């Protein structure tokens, strides 16, 4: 386990996408092994790599790491995207936690029925515009700085941009009432490493399609139906 980090997940977004985003933001090249069969997954289980019997899993710096939040925290700290002191780290954790909650409403969207998707789409937009985006709009307006924490680029900025783009896929003009977030989106998107990740041909994954859903269901044996909030 040396060289580039290696990511074990499906060929799609899911919980691994935020890890891809953060590595890309840090300018770190990484490799991926996509799970396509139940046998691949069981091999990882039998080999003891998946401590809690679930992916994402990342091989990095001689470790096999699981649990998305632990992986992200490690990457943020390693590449100086986690603030300069404990107070800044607490703010970053708080903002990341908020965007995590919002993205959680989107994570299972591809697995819903067509009827439930329409309900969930409206729910996502309502929560984004009434609970989450107003918080970040106020933070940026109140401190007048380019970034969310300490006027330095951090994990919180990466995570928020990812969340904004995910919600815009559900409603393209969702930022129409948030001028600070519109400027923030443009600013963060122009950072060279982010700009590169947003370009065609990068390791950023597209909106999950039916093939992705079927692969996840087959590998994880997800045979139950999910419901919208």
* pLDDT tens figures, 98-152: 999 999 999 999 999 999 999 999 999 999 999 999 999 999 999 999 999 999 9
Q: Where is 6: in which H helix or E strand?
A: strand 6-9
Retrieve residue 219's tokens. Answer: 């590998």
pTM (two decimals): 0.95
Q: Residue 98 falls within a domain, yes or no?
A: yes
Give 92's contacts (C-beta < 8 A, 6+ positions apart).
76, 82, 83, 148, 149, 154, 155, 156
Judged against a pLDDT cut of 80, whether residue 229 lies above it is answered with no
- The bridge status of strand 6-9 relative to strand 31-34 is parallel
Cα angle: 3, vertex 219, 6; to 5 degrees = 5
* Residue 11 · residue 205 · CB < 8 Å: yes
Same-domain check for residues 165 and 210: no
Confidence of residue 223 (pLDDT cuts 50, 70, 90): low
The alpha carbon of 56 is separated from its chain's Cα centroid by a whole number of angstroms, namely: 12
Residues 10-28: tens digit of each pLDDT: 999 999 999 999 999 999 9
What's the mean pLDDT in 216-228? 74
Same-domain check for residues 43 and 105: no
What's the mean pLDDT in 169-192? 98
Q: Residue 70 falls within a domain, yes or no?
A: yes
Cα separation, 132 vs 138, in Å, equals: 10
CATH code for the domain in which residue 116 is found: 1.20.1050.10
Quick one: angle between helices 155-168 and 179-189, nearest 10?
110
Q: Residue 227 falls within a domain, yes or no?
A: no
pLDDT of residue 15: 96
Tally the domains of the chain.
2
Judged against a pLDDT cut of 90, whether residue 174 lies above it is answered with yes
Q: Residue 229 falls within a domain, yes or no?
A: no
Same-domain check for residues 119 and 186: yes
Confidence of residue 1 (pLDDT cuts 50, 70, 90): very low
CB count, 10 Å around CB of 111? 17
Q: Show the domain range for 58.
A: 6-79+198-220
What's the mean pLDDT in 28-56? 94
Judged against a pLDDT cut of 80, whether residue 224 lies above it is answered with no
What percent of the chain clears pLDDT 70, i.e. is strictly above it?
Answer: 96
pLDDT of residue 147: 98
Confidence of residue 57 (pLDDT cuts 50, 70, 90): very high
Same-domain check for residues 90 and 184: yes
């Amino acid at each position: 386990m040396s060289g580039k980090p290696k990511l074990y997940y499906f060929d799609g977004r899911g919980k691994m996408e935020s890890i891809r985003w953060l590595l890309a933001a840090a300018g770190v090249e990484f490799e991926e092994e996509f799970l396509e069969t139940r046998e691949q997954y069981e091999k990882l289980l039998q080999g003891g790599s998946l401590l809690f019997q679930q992916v994402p899993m990342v091989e990095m710096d001689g470790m096999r790491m699981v649990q998305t939040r632990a992986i992200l925290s490690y990457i943020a700290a390693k590449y100086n995207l986690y603030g300069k002191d404990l107070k800044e780290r607490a703010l970053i954790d708080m903002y990341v936690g908020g965007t995590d909650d919002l993205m959680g409403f989107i994570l299972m969207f591809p697995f819903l029925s067509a009827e439930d998707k329409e309900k969930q789409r409206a729910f996502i937009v309502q929560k984004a515009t009434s609970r989450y985006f107003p918080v970040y709009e106020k933070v940026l307006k109140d401190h007048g700085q380019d970034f969310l924490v300490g006027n330095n680029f951090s994990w919180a900025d990466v995570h928020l941009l990812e969340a904004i783009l995910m919600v815009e896929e559900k409603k393209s003009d969702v930022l129409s009432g948030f001028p600070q977030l519109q400027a923030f989106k443009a600013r963060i998107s122009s950072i060279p490493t982010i700009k590169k990740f947003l370009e065609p041909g990068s390791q950023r994954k597209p909106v999950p399609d039916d093939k992705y859903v079927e692969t996840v269901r087959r590998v994880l044996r997800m045979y139950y139906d999910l419901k919208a909030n």
